[in-house]
Amino acid sequence: MVTTDIYKKEYDVIIVGGGATGAGTARDCALRGLSVLLVERNDYSTGATGRNHGLMHSGARYAVTDGESASECISENMILRRIARHCVEETDGLFITLPEDDLQYQQTFVEACQRAGIRADVIDPDEARRIEPAVNPELIGAVRVPDAAIDPFRLTVANLLDARLHGADTLNYHEVEGLVISQGHVEGVKLFNKLEGTHVEVRGRVVVNAAGIWGQRIAQQAGINISMFPARGALLIFGHRVNNMVINRCRKPANADILVPDDTVCVIGTTSDRIPIETVDDMRVTREEVDVLLKEGIKIAPSLATTRIIRAYAGVRPLVASDNDPSGRSISRGIVCLDHAKRDGLEGFITITGGKMMTYRLMGEIATNAVCAKLGNTAPCVTASQPLPGSEPDAPDQKDATKRYSFGQRAAIGRHGSLAARIEKDNDIDNALVCECEGVTVGEIKYAVHQLHVHNLVNLRRRTRVGMGTCQGKLCSCRAASLMGEFNGNVKAAQEDLAAFLDERWKGMRPVAWGDTLREAQLTSMIYEGLCGLDMAVNMEGKEDVQ
Amino acid sequence: MAERMQTCNLSENNFEQCTKCSICTTVCPVAAVTTDYPGPKQAGPDGERYRLKDPAYFDKALKLCLNCKRCEVACPSGVHIADIIQQARMRASEGKRASLRDTMLANTDLLGTVANLVAPVANTTLGLFPTKLVMHSVMAIDKHRTFPAYSRQKFTTWFKRHAAKEQDSYSQHVSYFHGCYVNYNFPKLGQDLVKILNAIGYGVHLLDKEQCCGVALIANGLYKQAKRQARTNIDNIRTSMNRDHRVVLTTSSSCTFNMRDEYPSMLGIDNADVRDNINLATRFIYNLVDEEKIKLIFKQNYKRRLAYHTACHMQRMGWQLYSIELLRMIPGMDLVELEQECCGISGTYGFKKENYERSQAIGSILFKSIEEAQVEAVTTDCETCKWQIEMSTGLPVENPISVLADALDVEATRRANGIK
Amino acid sequence: MRMDTVIMGGGLSGLACGISLAKRGKRVTIVASGQSTMFFNGGSMELLGCVNDKTVENPLEAIASLPESHPYHKVGVDRIASIAERVKLLFSDSGIDMTGSANANHWRITPMGIAKPAWLTLNDHLRIDDLNQLPAKRLALMCIRGYFDQPNSMLAEGLRNLGFEVDMIEFTTDDITALRRSPSEMRATSLAKHLVSNNALQRIADQFNNLAENADMVLMPSVFGQSDSSDFQTLQARTNKPLRLVATLPPSVAGMRMMKQLRHYFKMLGGTYLMGDTALSGTFDGDRLTSITTAKLADMPLKADNFVLATGSFISRGLKADFERVYEPILGVDVDADADPEQWTRFGVLQPQAYFGYGVATDNQLRCLKQGKPIQNLRAIGSVLSGHDAVKMGDGTGVSLLTAIAAADQIRENK
């Protein structure tokens, strides 16, 4: 639909925030027959959704400290395995005890898991070394749990796709500037279209604030105070998978104690630091954070000491203080759903926050229940049973060795599940690889640009993994930029987009720029500045980060 | 632990040192002639990241890799690209049986033992057109191929009858790993080596036991057998070194490369204690001359114009300069060093029907440069390159040791080195 | 094995130095750890393109104003002009046809259509001497269908900004279509390998003659000539318009060809080129280097009277950086680099990055310093040297070539 037509409509519900929670809420609302608009100020999944481990918790990590969260996790974990197969890799996880840890804790941990309904099998350290050779061989205890890896970008896109299939509209690069309030009722949102530079109002009967840590600002626009405590976590991505199972430390949650195999890479994290709310947009990782992550990460898998790091990134968890304790000392990691009619006397406004990426569906269900209650909709929630697009029971499997897929096709099935069938592959040009590290073809780029709301290379990366390999887009980004320039006919923009993309890649590389990652960076500069002169064509000064 | 953090980047075969610069793709002889092969970067480090995630990402087209290692020589980042590809093939082939054809081609010593016994018949039979057609259609061995002629007498038989006895009379000693080619096809090369080494005061001995080095077994996926033979060879080389204090010399670049480098990387055979004692004869002799331990005296009025072809595995070892420098010591030698290009045979690869055309296409650049060099013969350290170049250019191909033996004034050399 | 000179590094600098010495009858061995960064070259050499954000018009003049730490000062500012002439000779002796002048930069056209100052450019590549006097009015930009290493629309836009009229014309031939069957291997270099037969070139010329009727000049990506310029000349002879090439994204055919030609010339002069070997360490005797050990030659070290370090920057592994330090990995000679890793880089990918200026420390004779003292017979040349910035100053190839010749001169003079 044309954007200006969207502006004219009046929706049952407007959802603010294009992360997993917003997307899950949009899907749920749409499946229940509501008319839905989702707005996102940047690209989808640019906030905390795209900046975590990609870990599908079994809940074991929270079992000892927060039984309720643990139960939520294991029940959502089982649901996601069914409905989001193409976003999930069933790896299982280990909780290991090292000589410096207290082995007594293992028993406490296992009992807590059992209470929460999480399968937790104590295994022999030898067995742990056998099933996961990357694990620190000095471990003295291990517990196997149903952890898994999940791709949050794919998950979010699949939810948005399904929402759209059921009539929802979604707009990225639309920032909420304020709420339309009339006589104690929220009646819509004031939007700034960042791509066109225009301001508009769109009307909706209920507005759901699903903006994560940025939800505090949204609420402020309605004169409402929510005390959020941003907790920043930094993570490191290594160039390949050293482990094939999730590895956790079996102790009270602390810094850098989870190593997750994500697609072709693995990720160690996180640090955890309270930061002032004003700094939540600065996601640059510091050397101190890298230092902590490495030192702790090496204890989980010693080979990390000599494995190439391809980038560092950070995200911010939206922790919410309970209303009777604004100091933030008793902070919940659980889901918080605030009906501002009850809480603040403002009708038509709901905030859904807290929680975790992997409980996004449940958060969507809770928020949708609240919306439906206001609108008198009684349709039941089906998101727990209905597979996401791409994950239908008969969807092809990238791991099916009996099928003779090309590299690009196999990788595309891994990324898009059954939707990979929509990718053109009937001629040599569509089958040509653009990104050779990650197996992204011309056809897949066309599909992403035309059907997955891609406006720039960074969007394209999130939808397809273009430029996410070890070279961080050195050769493919120019090919992709040039293709996109041809699709949308704006060459100057394509060059600026290319520079912005390289800059975004560099942001993650710079904190770990030594060894082969520095070599890679130098080669990138030699190609794009030395050979091509991109720096002479593009003025980056004063440019905002393209998210 | 902390102070040793991130001082280096270790990964299996250095696959993660790859900067995706694509230089390897520019030297791959296979990708240059067929679009069916994804190229060394894609087949190697790129594919490896995905194969680590799931073995289903293995691509059957990887069997088109020649294992010529040119990608590794060109790589500015030290990535063992061909090793990555070969090991992926090895993993994928686990539990699968090799075809009769591959088994036959790979068992060069078995084939040789039988053929030696019936050499005239074998040479005729293998050369006959009907036989070739049967091999072409039933065995899938290309009909254009001429099987190398088999000698009537094995090298080892000759050695025991005519040379073994006098070897103890020398003051210094080496062992000789002759390999299948010298033993079954071309004993003269072994005889040439004995002649040269004796002239400079070295007695030559066979290993207690020697089996085919297994280069063809590895290429054809017969890893178990290759491992067995590798163990035998390394054990016997070890005995030569520890019991007899003799280094082991070879005259084949492929056997040398295989035993030094492929045994540990492809077969997981630990050869660290003996690796430095497996040496190519030209390198050994060059070093003696260089350190002024021996003198070589050459025939007067010797005049030849030859082209030196660097075999791919020789290039990978980086030892071609020893053969070249040794040949350049010969007065009257006009040696053209050919630009390094693959000849296309790659051991048994080019013998297979499905590879024949590709094999010849790969070699065409080399054949053209040989033609342009206008030489009377070609010299190279690899026997399979020899077959390919002889078949494709019609020029004779000699091992540098044979060239040297031919040019050497044996009596004068013996005198110069104080040998009676 | 004993040599007159052993050069570590077989890229542009190492080869230029090796040729210079071999030409005078010296026994030279080059140890080349794989192919070089010439694979990313755009068909031009640069002496000096930019100083303090200002485009340089006359490199010779601008060189004098460079800071003392710049390698050109170690070449000797008064000698730059004559050495630059000798580089041109070295190229033409090697069969490389380039044009340009050290006291007047011309413009090369980048794959993105941007004009960058250059010193020498291959004669078959598009070169603009004066932006006010373009070599043609109307260009036919021939775009190969399915070839993605040439950002055609960016190139066309850039050329239009320079004042050309540009027709973008897509074309293909059977040979090219067949090559595109490979999802990954359609590179400039693979095109150059396939487009060599007279028939293949004729099919391309036919397309040009049909499609580019209205143009004054035909422009196409540099995908011809893997070993010399004969394929280009064949194509030009069959095309009824002047034909020019423009650089592609890597791998660069022009760079590969130049390296081949230089290597060939070096070998013809009797030089030994050890491709795929790596220098690992050296043995010192007081203030002299006596031998180096390489990975492949192993227990037979290379001895020589003189040594040259031409191992390149980080990308070529001539310099290494780890979590804590920057160092020279083979001989452990001194480097000029910031001790604090925070200073190596900065955010902003197109900002100047300090690490580009890092390199080995030398005295004014290009002799490497070790613990502050010069090693008498060890010189550093090219990108491994500190004090310049190939990307921001446009002096990379110039430093490589000029320091190479200067070092060769010093080695001879010191005899």
C141 and C11, same domain (yes or no): no
At residue A263, the pLDDT reads 87
Structure tokens at C147: 């070839």
At residue B131, the pLDDT reads 61
pLDDT band at B345 (very low <50, low <70, confident <90, very high): confident
pLDDT band at B111 (very low <50, low <70, confident <90, very high): low
Counting one residue from A and one from B, how many pairs have CB atoms under 8 Å apart? 100
C38 and C71, same domain (yes or no): yes
Choose the closest CB to B26 out of C189, C274, C278. C189
pLDDT band at B117 (very low <50, low <70, confident <90, very high): low
Non-local CB neighbours of C346 within 8 Å, separated by 6+ positions:
A510, C353, C354
Q: Could you tell me the CATH number of the domain that includes residue C140?
A: 3.40.50
Q: Is C322–B6 a contact, with Cβ atoms under 8 angstroms apart?
A: yes
To the question of domain B11-93 being in CATH 3.40.50.300, the answer is no
Choose the closest CB to A527 out of C249, C342, C356. C249
Span A356-383, mean pLDDT? 97
Q: Closest-CA residue in chain A for C340?
A: A287
Q: Is C277–B318 a contact, with Cβ atoms under 8 angstroms apart?
A: yes
Measured between beta carbons, the chain A residues lying within 8 angstroms of C321 are: 513-515, 518
Query: How does strand A174-182 pair with strand A185-193?
Result: antiparallel
B301 lies within 8 A of chain A by CB: no
Q: What is the dihedral of CA C208, C210, C214, C215, to 10 degrees?
A: 10
A456 and A488, same domain (yes or no): yes
What is chain A's length?
547
Q: What's the gap in Å between the CA of C94 and the closest CA on chain A?
A: 24
At residue B116, the pLDDT reads 62
Report yes or no on A18 lying in a domain: yes
Non-local CB neighbours of B121 within 8 Å, separated by 6+ positions:
none
- From B45-59, B276-290, C83-97, the region with the lowest mean pLDDT: B45-59
At residue B350, the pLDDT reads 79
Preceding omega of A270 cis (within 30 degrees of 0): yes
Q: What is the number of domains present in chain A?
A: 3
Report yes or no on C359 lying in a domain: no
Inform me whether the pLDDT recorded for A284 exceeds 80: yes
C242 and C262, same domain (yes or no): no
Choose the closest CB to A494 out of C154, C250, C391. C154
B20 lies within 8 A of chain A by CB: yes
From the CB of residue B319, how many other CB atoms can be counted at a distance below 10 Å?
27
Q: Is C184–A523 a contact, with Cβ atoms under 8 angstroms apart?
A: no
- Helices A476-488 and A491-509 cross at an angle (nearest 10°) of 150
C-alpha A119/C-alpha A374 separation (Å) is: 38
C-alpha B73/C-alpha A127 separation (Å) is: 41
Residues of chain B with CATH 1.10.1060.10: 11-93
Measured between beta carbons, the chain A residues lying within 8 angstroms of B53 are: 241, 261, 263-264
The answer for C 225-264 residues in CB contact with A (under 8 A) is 247, 249-250
pLDDT band at A121 (very low <50, low <70, confident <90, very high): very high
Preceding omega of C251 cis (within 30 degrees of 0): yes
C47 and C144, same domain (yes or no): no
At residue A2, the pLDDT reads 73
- Helices C230-238 and C198-211 cross at an angle (nearest 10°) of 40
Q: Is B46–A436 a contact, with Cβ atoms under 8 angstroms apart?
A: yes
Structure tokens at C280: 């690992």
At residue B150, the pLDDT reads 81
C271 lies within 8 A of chain B by CB: no
Q: Is the ipTM of this complex over 0.90?
A: yes
Helix, strand, coil fractions of chain C, as percent rounded to 5: 35, 25, 40
Q: For A440-458, write each residue's pLDDT tens digit.
A: 999 999 999 999 989 899 9
The answer for C 173-192 residues in CB contact with A (under 8 A) is 177, 180-181, 183-184, 186
Report yes or no on C38 lying in a domain: yes
Inform me whether the pLDDT recorded for B319 exceeds 90: yes
At residue A209, the pLDDT reads 98
Structure tokens at B120: 């005239």
Backbone angles phi, psi at A496, to 5 degrees: -65, -40
A472 and A516, same domain (yes or no): yes
Measured between beta carbons, the chain C residues lying within 8 angstroms of B31 are: 182, 185, 190
Span C374-397, mean pLDDT? 97
Q: In percent, how much of chain B has pLDDT > 70?
A: 89
Find the angle CA(A161)-CA(A441)-CA(A484) to the nearest 5 degrees.
75
C-alpha B101/C-alpha A191 separation (Å) is: 72
For residues C53 and B142, the model is more confident at C53
C-alpha C210/C-alpha C206 separation (Å) is: 6
Which of B5, B15, B25, B96 has the most A C-beta neighbours within 10 Å, making it the best mutation to test the interface with A? Answer: B5
Choose the closest CB to C183 out of A431, A494, A514. A431
H or E element, residue A174: strand A174-182
Report yes or no on C255 lying in a domain: yes
Mean pLDDT score of chain C, rounded to an integer?
Answer: 96
Q: Closest-CA residue in chain C for B286?
A: C1
Structure tokens at B306: 């030859």
Q: For A393-419, write each residue's pLDDT tens digit.
A: 999 998 888 888 889 999 999 999 999
Inform me whether the pLDDT recorded for B2 exceeds 50: no
C179 lies within 8 A of chain B by CB: yes
pLDDT band at A331 (very low <50, low <70, confident <90, very high): low
Q: Closest-CA residue in chain C for A479?
A: C148
Collapsed DSSP state (helix, strand, coil) of residue B144:
coil
Collapsed DSSP state (helix, strand, coil) of residue A236:
strand
Q: What's the gap in Å between the CA of B66 and the closest CA on chain C?
A: 17
What is chain B's length?
420
At residue C215, the pLDDT reads 96
Inform me whether the pLDDT recorded for C66 exceeds 90: yes
Inform me whether the pLDDT recorded for B49 exceeds 90: no
CATH class of this structure's domain B155-290: alpha beta
Residue that is last in its domain, among C199, C230, C246: C246
C-alpha B275/C-alpha B247 separation (Å) is: 10
Non-local CB neighbours of B277 within 8 Å, separated by 6+ positions:
B237, B240, B241, B247, B248
Q: Is A437–B46 a contact, with Cβ atoms under 8 angstroms apart?
A: yes
Q: For C199-214, write each residue's pLDDT tens digit.
A: 999 999 999 999 999 9
Choose the closest CB to A410 out of B2, B15, B57. B57
Inform me whether the pLDDT recorded for B60 exceeds 70: yes
Distance in angstroms between the alpha carbons of the first and the last residue of chain C: 20
Indicate if the alpha-carbon torsion angle A27, A32, A33, A39 is positive or negative: negative
Sheet of B377-379: strand order equals B333-337, B304-308, B377-379, B397-398
Inform me whether the pLDDT recorded for B287 exceeds 50: yes
Measured between beta carbons, the chain C residues lying within 8 angstroms of B21 are: 39-40, 250-251
Q: Is C251–B75 a contact, with Cβ atoms under 8 angstroms apart?
A: no
| Amino acid (1-letter code) at residue B212 | C
C-alpha A233/C-alpha A53 separation (Å) is: 10
Closest CA relative to residue C366, chosen from C396, C317, C316, C408: C408
Structure tokens at B410: 């044996």
C141 and C155, same domain (yes or no): yes
Q: What is the number of domains present in chain C?
A: 2
At residue B114, the pLDDT reads 61
Q: Could you tell me the CATH number of the domain that includes residue A260?
A: 3.30.9.10
Choose the closest CB to C256 out of B26, B31, B283. B26
Report yes or no on C335 lying in a domain: no
C38 and C159, same domain (yes or no): no
pLDDT band at C61 (very low <50, low <70, confident <90, very high): very high
Q: Is C146–A536 a contact, with Cβ atoms under 8 angstroms apart?
A: no
At residue B137, the pLDDT reads 63
Inform me whether the pLDDT recorded for A113 exceeds 60: yes
**Contact in structure between A243 and A261 (CB atoms under 8 Å):** yes
| Amino acid (1-letter code) at residue A454 | V
Report yes or no on C349 lying in a domain: no
The answer for C 282-321 residues in CB contact with A (under 8 A) is 313-315, 317, 320-321
* DSSP letter, residue C101: B
At residue C314, the pLDDT reads 97
At residue B408, the pLDDT reads 97
Non-local CB neighbours of C264 within 8 Å, separated by 6+ positions:
B339, C94, C95
Inform me whether the pLDDT recorded for B1 exceeds 50: no
C131 and C144, same domain (yes or no): yes
C-alpha A148/C-alpha A119 separation (Å) is: 13
Structure tokens at A375: 């609108």
Here the contacts of C158-161 (C-beta below 8 Å, separation 24 or greater) are C158/A537, C158/C109, C158/C110, C158/C112, C158/C113, C158/C114, C158/C115, C159/C109, C159/C113, C159/C219, C161/C113
DSSP string, A475-536: THHHHHHHHHHHHH--HHHHHHHHHHHHHHHHHHHGGG-SHHHHHHHHHHHIIIIIIT-HHH
Q: For A161-175, write each residue's pLDDT tens digit.
A: 999 999 999 999 999
CATH class of this structure's domain B304-407: alpha beta
Structure tokens at B347: 């051991």
The answer for C 317-336 residues in CB contact with B (under 8 A) is 317, 322-323
A309 and A434, same domain (yes or no): no
Closest CA relative to residue C152, chosen from C246, C252, C235: C246
Sheet of B172-177: strand order equals B202-206, B172-177, B247-250, B278-280
**Contact in structure between A261 and A91 (CB atoms under 8 Å):** yes
Inform me whether the pLDDT recorded for B348 exceeds 60: yes
A172 and A35, same domain (yes or no): yes
A16 and A159, same domain (yes or no): yes
Q: For A92-104, write each residue's pLDDT tens digit.
A: 999 999 999 999 9
Structure tokens at C140: 């036919």
Q: Is C110–A535 a contact, with Cβ atoms under 8 angstroms apart?
A: no
A471 lies within 8 A of chain B by CB: yes
Domain that holds residue C272: 1-102+251-281+388-415
Domain that holds residue A349: 3-48+153-227+328-375
A288 lies within 8 A of chain B by CB: no
Measured between beta carbons, the chain B residues lying within 8 angstroms of C40 are: 21
Inform me whether the pLDDT recorded for A332 exceeds 80: no
Query: How far, CA to CA in Å, does C100 sit from each of B4, C41, C128, C272, C402?
Result: 50, 17, 11, 31, 15
- pTM exceeds 0.90, yes or no: yes
C-alpha A209/C-alpha A224 separation (Å) is: 12
Inform me whether the pLDDT recorded for B115 exceeds 80: no
A312 and A204, same domain (yes or no): no
Query: How does strand C217-221 pair with strand A228-238?
Result: unpaired
Q: For B382-402, write each residue's pLDDT tens digit.
A: 999 999 999 999 999 999 999
User: Which residues, in sequence order, are bridge partners of residue A347?
Assistant: A185
At residue B139, the pLDDT reads 64
Measured between beta carbons, the chain B residues lying within 8 angstroms of A432 are: none
A240 lies within 8 A of chain B by CB: yes
Inform me whether the pLDDT recorded for A54 exceeds 60: yes
Report yes or no on A459 lying in a domain: yes
Closest CA relative to residue A121, chosen from A82, A90, A95, A88: A95
Report yes or no on C336 lying in a domain: no
Measured between beta carbons, the chain A residues lying within 8 angstroms of B11 are: 239-240, 307-308
C138 and C98, same domain (yes or no): no
